[in-house]
Chains A and B, each alone.
Chain A
Amino acid sequence: KAGVTQTPRYLIKTRGQQVTLSCSPISGHRSVSWYQQTPGQGLQFLFEYFSETQRNKGNFPGRFSGRQFSNSRSEMNVSTLELGDSALYLCASSLQGQGVVNTEAFFGQGTRLTVV
């Protein structure tokens, strides 16, 4: 069974540009959550999509957006990039949603975004 796949693994962008990251969940999983990981802030929740609907949202500005397709694949978009957006972006997939123990969350390897 394939794991959670995130593409690309590494990305370098300049300030002001926009970026789209992709996450393919484990087959059959309907929930995809996105997290930002930085050395200073740790792991912070961005949003969760379930069956193509945003179900939960963290405390991030509107420059961060996402969507989920009918095959459960999800994309995350960051517009008008800032230097502080440099981070490892992780996605996690699960059957029913984050925080539900009997549907464990599986994480991808992440996309490392560097903004210069």
Chain B
Amino acid sequence: GEDVEQSLFLSVREGDSSVINCTYTDSSSTYLYWYKQEPGAGLQLLTYIFSNMDMKQDQRLTVLLNKKDKHLSLRIADTQTGDSAIYFCAESINNDMRFGAGTRLTVKP
């Protein structure tokens, strides 16, 4: 099985908050990332968090890290139709990066 796990689909209404969850298995992960992939495009780094942080906020994005439970979440406030994409969480250990399968976020008007 995959080392990094995410639910595959999430659907929200425009203006609501979206919360995308991720679990990872390697406690020695140093950094955790969120990437966004829009249709026909490559991956774009959205934000990252150091493993010794609990929370990081960047405009509409809030990343929460529960190191004890190895749980990472990405909250998007005031979700817009332009936020519709696939969101990947990833962990890095030394020079190795491992990605989840991606969560497809659909934003309904």
Residues of chain B within 8 A (CB-CB) of A41 are 101
How far is it, in angstroms, between the C-alpha of A52 and the C-alpha of B52 when the chains are bound? 34
Shortest distance from the beta carbon of B79 to any chain A beta carbon, whole Å: 23
Chain A residues, CB < 8 A from B44:
107
Residues of chain A at interface, number, CB under 8 A: 25
CA distance A92 to B30 in the complex (A): 20
Interface code A56-82, partner B: CB below 8 Å = 1, 0 otherwise? 100000000000000000000000000
Overall SS of chain B's interface: strand
Residues of A within 8 A of B92 (CB): 98-101
Contacts of B30 in A (CB 8 A): 99
Q: Does A25 contact B (CB under 8 A)?
A: no
Contact A56 B96 (CB under 8 A): yes
The range of chain B's interface size is 20 to 34
> Quick one: CB contact mask for A20-52 with B, threshold 8 Å, 1 for yes?
000000000000010100000111110010000
Interface membership of B93, Cβ < 8 A: yes
Specify which chain A residues have a CB less than 8 angstroms from the CB of B109 in the assembled complex: none
**Is B55 part of the binding interface, using a Cβ–Cβ cutoff of 8 Å?**
no
Q: Which of B95, B99, B100 contacts A48 (CB 8 A)?
A: B95
Contact B97 A99 (CB under 8 A): yes
Q: A99-B92, A99-B93, A99-B94 are in contact. Are A43 and B99 (CB under 8 A)?
A: yes
A105 partner residues in chain B, CB cutoff 8 A: 45, 97
Query: Which residues between 50 and 99 of chain B lie within 8 Å of chain A, taking CB atoms?
Result: 50, 88, 92-99
* Assembled-state Cα–Cα distance A97/B92 (Å): 11
Q: Is the CB of A45 within 8 A of B42?
A: no
Please tell me if B10 contacts chain A, counting CB pairs below 8 Å.
no
